[in-house]
Amino acid sequence: MYLVVVGLLAIYPAIYHLLTQSPLGEVAVTVLPRMETMVAVLYFSLFAMSFDFISGYTGYLSFGHAAFYGTGAYTVLLIANGKVPLLGPETPFLVALVVGAVLATVLAVVIGLVSFRLTGVYFAMITLGFAQVLYVFVRDWDYVGSNPRDGIALSGARGFELGVPYVDQLTVALGTLTGDTLALAGHTLGTTTVSFYAVGVVVLLCFAAMQRILHSPFGRVMVAIRENEERAEAIGYDTFRYKLGAFAISGFFGGVAGGLLAGFKRSVTPESGFYFLTSGDALLASIIGGFGTLAGPLWGHLFDETVREFLSKRGQGGGLLPYLEQTLSEEFLTTELVGGLTVEGFITAALNGHASLYVGIVFVLFVLYVPDGIVGTVRSRLGGRVARRLPERLWGER
């Protein structure tokens, strides 16, 4: 099953390319997310997965998870700008990525040591408190750059290169402007597409690692803590250690996700890194996709981003608004509804860039009526994991 999903994602660039060229192009551009968005979906999904790893599996809502994302992103950029002692600006991206992730892990252990003395609502609040302290701190720390409130960007017109360090053939540059193009079997892959694959490989590796941990005895204990912590303790597990370990692992992957954000965007702001609404977005992705299913956040965030892009009217990205403006007649658009409000005015006011409204409504509906999320519901409908059930459905029991 995972192979199918990975395969689908892998051929997405080709599909996108084909459909936008086809007679249906107009519609395809409108409905499908752009390639840049898909890269963002990949690395943010990894962050949402790391959030789900701790929150969905142990039941401890880590509301300050953005701290790890921000740490990863800031570390990578600071190293590249030569602001970190011992690590010069020539440090390979992959090394910086790992350093950022390790720092995030250390941070997770520190926060965890304090926070896991608490449970429930208090745990969510204290992690939020830590993240906000870091957010305010980073926002006003002028060491990171001349204007810390606007975040930091990579100095110079360089880009990051992802791959095996010191081996040129196994390295590709990331980014829409600075990335590599790749000629393969007569086709040239664009910079974004190459970044998509490169980021995708890292995300896939991290996903596999987390999946492996969750299916190990360690992961079973995590679920046991979620279901009944006292019982897990009574059986003899030192739950504090397990929680701390899980939090550290989750912080590590959160840091990797942040590093990938920095690698692709070449810049980060305090808002996109540390602010509590970033954790909120991860929460959104996890709930819509399926809380406590590792693959869920990917689908949840894909949905989130698709709706957001669909309802914004940015550039060539397509979206509903330019599409409506092109297809609907001038007459209809200028029809008055009530008191001087034209159809066009209404569409602009209600749709333009206001995707949060609709995503929020969908989120509320999911919490109320689909608490297991997309993946969780599909699983319970099929009576098991999709990977196991689908073949049985198709070819009968064996």
Partner 1 sequence: MTLALELAQQALLQAGFVDGLAEFARPGTFAEVVLRGLSKAAIYVMIAAGLTLIFGLLGVLNFAHGALTMIGAYLGGLVMVLTVAQGTGPWARLALFFVAMAVVFGLLSALGGSIEVRLIRPLYDRPPIYQILLTFGVTLVLEELARIVVGFYGLQPLAEWQAALGTIPAFLETSQSLGPVSVRGLALFEIFLGALTVAAIWGFLTRTRYGLFIRAGSEDSEMAEALGIDVRRVFTVVFALGAGVAGVAGTLLMWDPVWGASVPLAAESLLPAFVVVIIGGLGTFRGTVVGGLIVGLVDATTTWWFQNVAVTWTWLPEVAIFMILVVALIVRPQGIYGVEEVGGH
Q: Contact positions toward partner 1, by CB under 8 A?
A: 59, 61, 114, 117-122, 124-126, 128-130, 132-133, 136-137, 139-141, 229, 276-277, 280, 283-284, 287, 349-350, 354, 356-357, 359-361, 363-364, 367-368, 371
Residue 89 backbone dihedrals phi, psi, to 5 degrees? -65, -15
- What's the closest the beta carbon of residue 34 comes to partner 1, in angstroms? 23
Over its C-alpha atoms, the chain yields an Rg (Å, rounded) of: 22
- What's the closest the beta carbon of residue 27 comes to partner 1, in angstroms? 26
Q: Which is nearer to partner 1, 337 or 349 (CB)?
A: 349
Alpha helix (H) ranges present in 140-269?
191-214, 217-227, 229-235, 239-265
Q: Which is nearer to partner 1, 266 or 301 (CB)?
A: 301
Q: Which is nearer to partner 1, 245 or 345 (CB)?
A: 345
Distance CA 188, CA 184 (A): 6
Residues 6+ apart with CB under 8 A from 88: 82
For 194, the token pair is 């190459």
Sign of CA dihedral 140, 145, 147, 150: negative
- What's the closest the beta carbon of residue 3 comes to partner 1, in angstroms? 32
Distance CA 174, CA 154 (A): 13
The secondary structure of 85-154 as a DSSP string is TT--TTS-HHHHHHHHHHHHHHHHHHHHHHHTTS-HHHHHHHHHHHHHHHHHHHHT-TTS-S-GGG-EE-
Q: Which is nearer to partner 1, 89 or 280 (CB)?
A: 280
Distance CA 276, CA 139 (A): 13
- What's the closest the beta carbon of residue 361 comes to partner 1, in angstroms? 6
Element (H, E) at 278: helix 276-289
Q: Which is nearer to partner 1, 184 or 368 (CB)?
A: 368
Q: Which is nearer to partner 1, 47 or 160 (CB)?
A: 47
Q: Say if CB 74 and CB 273 are below 8 A apart.
A: yes
Q: Which is nearer to partner 1, 130 or 196 (CB)?
A: 130
Sign of CA dihedral 254, 257, 262, 265: negative
- What's the closest the beta carbon of residue 2 comes to partner 1, in angstroms? 27
Q: Which is nearer to partner 1, 129 or 190 (CB)?
A: 129
Q: For 162, which DSSP code?
A: E
- What's the closest the beta carbon of residue 210 comes to partner 1, in angstroms? 21
- What's the closest the beta carbon of residue 241 comes to partner 1, in angstroms? 18
- What's the closest the beta carbon of residue 118 comes to partner 1, in angstroms? 5
